[in-house]
Amino acid sequence: MLEALPLLPDDPILGLAAVCRADENPKKVDLTVGIYMDENGVCPVFEAIQQAQNMLVEREVSKAYLPPAGVAGFNPGMQKLVLGEGSTALADGRVSSIQAPGGCGALRIGAEIIQAASPGARVWVSDPTWPVHIPLLGSVGLQFSTYRYYEPQTHGVNFDAMVEDLKGAGAGDIVLLHGCCHNPCGADLSKEQWSIVGDMAEAQGFVPFIDFAYQGLGDGLDADAAGLRHLAERLPEMIIAASCSKNMGLYRERTGCTLFLAKDGKSADALLSQAKVAARRVYSMPPAHGALLASTVLSDSALTANWQSELHSMCGRINGLRSDLVEKLQASTGRDFEFIRAEKGMFSFLGLSSDQVQTLRDDYSVYMLGSSRINVAGVNARNIDYLADSIAKVL
């Protein structure tokens, strides 16, 4: 039986990263996988997380299973982080949440709940979107439509086209939105555009499903959540998949959270009960370590302040890299790359052709996705000149 299964290709992003790791060129530039890297090309551990880890080692006395909803302090901490201390949805008791194995696990639990509520429901996803969204959500049986989002010619959001497409989303439909730092294009909605999406959701009855994986890496923790919070104040129902991978550096700890906003507390409790059953069915029990670290940081004022300071510095560095890259590219190529400075988070499309991307890979050991999507955090003072010069040569 098992021998009949064919060999499948590697994931295109992870496979390309593996090719890059095997490249012996000392000048190689890795702009592939979406993780934050410091000036030394290392994905660092936050000092606040290190402190929390030391505290955990000293006081942890058991490795017993967690409760189905996860670490006790994690869920309320994440609810306040995502929705804000002044959230009326929290004050009204119409929010529930469950710890999940990373942002992917949070998305999957959200999909399980949607499928339970409306089997085969239609999910609207942006064009482009994170490549794993469709297989991750579709594997439960959900169906998909796309709405136009990114305009390559302007390197920004084609909001008129997005609105036109989403006029087709009605009651019972789900609209998947990137909360901030859009993956893969880096082009985000403005406050006014979030408000228009809220108007449409109210009028048409669709439910927003927010992928919120990059809070704090665009303009800051509160600014990045402004659009999502606007919807939460207006709409009766919403699902949010939040992740601690990027803003706390807990990538390998798989620490995420699915939040449910319901019309009232009774419905919120029902959603949590459904989520617990779905979790039991999918992965049984949540992992402990990352959520214990996150809850420790979020519940300790000194650690919270340290973490926020570190995250602020990380965000500032990414935005600084964007500006530096714009200056270098424009000096090297004579072309306009200002769009990179206007984007948010770790990703950007450079607007290169697939042939140019391949030449960069083959001749200069500069690795980016075939779409010319780069991880801006892979740029540093040691490689930025070589990167800009290499791009100039293929242009």
- Catalytic residue check, 307: no
Strand-strand pairing, 366-367 and 238-243 = unpaired
Q: What is the DSSP letter of 205?
A: -
The residues with which 146 forms a beta bridge, in sequence order, are 125
Strand-strand pairing, 95-101 and 373-375 = unpaired
- Catalytic residue check, 211: yes
Find the DSSP H helices in 118-244: 133-138, 159-166, 191-204, 221-224, 226-234
- Catalytic residue check, 130: yes
Upper half-sphere CA count for residue 305 (Cβ side, 13 Å): 2
3-state secondary structure of 269: helix
Per annotation, catalytic residue among 30, 165, 173, 211:
211
Per annotation, catalytic residue among 124, 130, 194, 307:
130
**Cα 95–chain centre separation:** 21
Per annotation, catalytic residue among 165, 188, 246, 344:
246
Give counts: helices (H), strands (E), the chain.
16, 13
Find the DSSP H helices in 170-264: 191-204, 221-224, 226-234
Catalytic residues: 130, 211, 246
